[in-house]
A and B are shown apart, each in its own frame.
Chain A
Amino acid sequence: MSRRNVHPLAHLALMTATALFAFPLVWMVLSSLKPANQLTEDPYAFWPTRWQWSNYPQALSSLPYLRYLRNSLILCTGSVIGSVTSCAVVAYGFSRLRWRGRDAVFGVLIATMLLPWHVTMIPRFLLLRELGLYNSLAALIVPTFLGDAFFIFLLRQFFLTIPDELSEAARLDGLGEWGIFTRIIVPLSKPALATVALFQFIASWNDFNGPLLYLSDPQKFPLAYGLEQFVSSYSDQTHLLLAAAVMFTLPMVVLFLLAQQTFLKGIATTGIKG
């Protein structure tokens, strides 16, 4: 893209769009600092009548934060490792190798995403229980090592954009398929792999249903479960809910800032690869 001059009008458009997108976010942070009675009486005000920083420690102290955080981190890192490795390997098989029935099997993979989870939840639960995974974070981590259709599809699309000549050249150099995968495709697909890692981390971080259904011991629940605790039909705790939501989202910002560095790098270096 034009890497030198950005037209001022284009810049303006971008800033307007940003303002529109960011407004609810800014407002969420501001509202999380409002006293409870302001949210009750006039939730539409922009500024807090009083900056109630105590919402944050209060939201923290109403749940075993560190324990939930620990569980979330185990769940997220385990799932990220599982997803990135398994999905990359499987996507390679679906994109860079020719074999009989490949497209038909790929069709089946896509089809597995088309049935709402509500109707497959019970048998899936019974299977995981039979495998001895009930009430263990492994029930949520182990399946990620068996590939996820969404990520496999995504990585396949990325792998398909890499010119075939690269693989052919490597084959002529005597590199096996595993070698091509690890030494050529993976290094060229870092932005895509970072995307998968980021998405899987977020999915696990936000997952509330999975832990609740597959775990029975509250000591093993992740942070998303703690957040859900603020949602109650009987009491007005919106100020705490928002404070908890901000704290819950913050690690994602850090993670995203780190992950997007790889996209930048992609732009700078892919030129050398040919």
Chain B
Amino acid sequence: MFRRATLGPLFISPWLVGFVLLVAFPFAASLYWSFCHYDLLSPPRFVGLENYRRIAQEAVTGGRFGQALWNTGYFALLSVPLSIFLGVTLAVMLTWKIRGQAMYRSLFFLPSVVPVVAASVLWMWLLDPRDGIVNESLGWLGISQSLWFKGATEAVVPPGWFDFGSKDALVLMAVWASGNMMVIYLAAIGDIPTQLYEAAELDGAGPLRRFLHVTLPMLSPVIFFNLVMGVIQSVQAFTQVYLVSEGTGEPAGWSLMLSLHLFLAAFQDLDMGYASAMAWLLFVVLLGATIFLFRTARHWVHYQGIMR
């Protein structure tokens, strides 16, 4: 046992080196800046809790920070579950023996590698309120036209049911480009030992029960991975948010996410202290969410290997 106890740290040593060399200092520096007035061009000046006080004030008065917080939460709460549901469903369907399987797989995967600049041009066309094909199709279904990128509405919040606004457009783009998650599920399904299915079949389990009792539990570790990473990445989503509103968070701040707010504060308003404080608050929130997810994981994630 003792031998293996020292082996552990040895195995993780590459990451430890990277952590000490490239991660620890930047983290410490930004934490320090969060207590400073720092404009990137002159030396930081210690101001205590001033930046945090400003953020708290803005959160209470519904200023930009409050709005960005809500927007980010809305985006994450919609895009993460949707992309997980879609990813698992598609991955399972794509293990069926059907003609053109490889083609299907690539088509679902491809959107995640289309450069974001090109994707945002395409989606602006697709979601054009007047001439875009999405509104036209929704019209056939009897759903009235939405403003999408220009819309100051939220499609899943009661007064605006099905009135799609700028954040809904971003959710749609994100879900479309979530094919890389599907790849992870595909790889995980590839890892499931066949004899588990054979055993289930011997027990007389139909396709649905095989899915619920074999596939889903065996996928749970990577579903958990995609859940945690989905939350982290959607909260930090930046490029597409920046591109579709040209960095303005239009309309009237309805697509202003925390990442964009932080970016503008740091690099346009030269207020790195405030941006760092915001980043660290975000860090604490995400840390809380992650710890919560890890706690719940004990009840639904099934590991075959060693856990503790």
Contacts and interface: CB of A to CB of B under 8 A. Distances in A.
Interface stretch (B58-66, B141-149, B156-164, B276-284): B276-284
A192 B259 CA distance: 30
A10 B215 CA distance: 18
Nearest to A252: B113
Given A116-B262, A161-B304, A161-B305, A25 B229 contact: no
A21 interface: yes
A252 B111 CA distance: 11
A238 B117 CA distance: 10
A93 B10 contact: yes
B224 A157 contact: yes
A248 B5 CA distance: 47
Contact of B33 (A110, A119, A154): A119
Contact of B113 (A120, A241, A249, A265): A249
B133 interface: yes
A194 B187 contact: yes
Interface string A194-224: 1100110010011000000000000000001
B121 interface: yes
A43 B126 CA distance: 10
Interface stretch (A47-55, A64-72, A143-151): A143-151
A262 B40 CA distance: 48
Nearest to B183: A195
Interface in A220-242: 224, 227-228, 230-231, 238, 241-242
Nearest to B267: A118
A24 B126 contact: yes
Nearest to A255: B113
A47 B224 CA distance: 42
A160 B122 contact: no
A89 B11 contact: yes
A265 B192 CA distance: 12
A116 B14 contact: no
Given A24-B111, A266-B190, A231 B117 contact: yes
A1 B92 contact: yes
A260 interface: yes
A174 interface: no
B304 A163 contact: yes
B133 A160 contact: no
B92 to A, nearest CB: 7
Contact of B218 (A2, A143, A161, A257): A161
A161 to B, nearest CB: 5
B22 A271 contact: no
A157 B279 contact: no
Interface stretch (B75-83, B94-102, B248-256): B94-102
A14 B93 contact: yes
B213 to A, nearest CB: 13
Q: Give the residue among B102, B106, B263, B305 with the most A Cβ atoms within 10 A.
A: B305
Q: Give the residue among B12, B186, B279 with the most A Cβ atoms within 10 A.
A: B12
B287 A153 contact: no
B212 interface: no
B42 interface: no
Contacts of B132: 44
Contact of A206 (B115, B266, B290): B115
A119 B30 contact: yes
Interface string A116-151: 111111111001100100000000000101110110
Contacts of B304: 160-164
B180 A93 contact: no
B300 interface: no
A23 B98 CA distance: 21
A175 to B, nearest CB: 13
A163 B18 CA distance: 30
A183 interface: no
Contact of A6 (B98, B188, B266): B98
Contacts of A120: 23, 26-27, 29-30
A123 B221 contact: no
A119 to B, nearest CB: 4
A146 B22 contact: yes
B240 interface: no
Contacts of A11: 98
Interface string B272-301: 100110011011001100100000000000
Nearest to B86: A17
Given A161-B305, A253-B110, A260-B105, A114 B15 contact: no
Q: Give the residue among A153, A157, A159, A194 with the most B Cβ atoms within 10 A.
A: A157
B207 interface: yes
15 contacts: A2-B210, A21-B107, A21-B179, A23-B133, A93-B10, A93-B12, A114-B283, A115-B280, A119-B30, A119-B275, A127-B26, A192-B191, A199-B183, A224-B115, A262-B190
- Those 8 A-B pairs whose CB atoms lie nearest each other, nearest first: A266-B190, A146-B18, A93-B11, A99-B8, A271-B194, A245-B118, A147-B15, A120-B26
